Amino acid sequence: MPDRVAWFMGKLLEKIRSPRDLRQLSRPELDSLCEEMREAIIQTVSDNGGHLASNLGVVELTVALGLVFSPPEDALVWDVGHQSYPYKLLTGRYNEFSTLRREGGLSGFPNRDESPCDSFTSGHSSASISSALGLSEACRLQSKDGYVVAVIGDGALTGGLSFEGLNNAGQHRRNLIVILNDNTMSISKNVGSLARYLTYMRTKPGYIKAKSSVEDALGHLPLVGKPIARLMRRVKSNIKKILYNSTIFSDLGFAYYGPFDGHNIKELSETFEAAKLVRKPVLIHVRTYKGKGYQYAEQSPTLYHGISSFDVDTGDPGEKAQSFSDVFGQTLCQLAREDDRICAITAAMAEGTGLAGFRQQFKGRFYDVGIAEEHAVTFSGGLAVGGMLPVFAVYSTFLQRSYDQLIHDVAMQKIKILLAIDRAGIVGEDGMTHQGLFDVAFLRTVPGVTLYSPTYFQELREQLAHLAKDGSGICAVRYPRGRELYKPSYFHSGIEPFSVYGPPEAETCIVTYGRLFSFVAEVADKLKIRGTDVKLLKLNRVIPIECAAAREVISCRQVFFFEEGIRQGGAGEYFASLLLEEGFAGKYVLRAIDKPFVKHAPMFRALETLGLNAGGIMKTVLEHFREEEDRLAEKEA
Residues with a catalytic annotation lie at 290, 373, 401
User: Which residue from 417, 350, 420, 344 is spatially nearest to 378, judged by alpha carbons?
Assistant: 417
One-letter-per-residue 3-state SS of 64-113: HHHHHCCCCCCEEEECCCCCCHHHHHHCCCHHHHHHCCCCCCCCCCCCCC
One-letter-per-residue 3-state SS of 290-351: CCCCCHHHHHCCCCCCEECCCCCCCCCCCCCCCCHHHHHHHHHHHHHHHCCCEEEEECCCCC
Identify the burial level of 213 via C-beta atoms within 10 angstroms of its C-beta, where 0-12 means exposed, 13-18 middle and 19 or more buried. Answer: exposed
Question: How many Cα atoms sit within 13 Å of 64 on the Cβ side?
Answer: 25
Alpha-carbon radius of gyration of the chain: 28
Question: How many Cα atoms sit within 13 Å of 34 on the Cβ side?
Answer: 24
Q: CA quadruple 283, 287, 293, 297: dihedral positive or negative?
A: positive
Alpha-carbon distance values, 507 to 143, 516, 587 (Å): 67, 21, 11
- Beta strand 306-307 with 50-51 is antiparallel
Residues 6+ apart with CB under 8 A from 100: 44, 45, 48, 50, 85, 88, 106, 107, 108
Nearest-angstrom CA–CA distance, 611 and 627: 18
Residues 6+ apart with CB under 8 A from 553: 509, 511, 535, 537, 559, 579, 584
Residues 6+ apart with CB under 8 A from 564: 424, 425, 426, 437, 480, 514, 515, 516, 592, 593, 607, 612
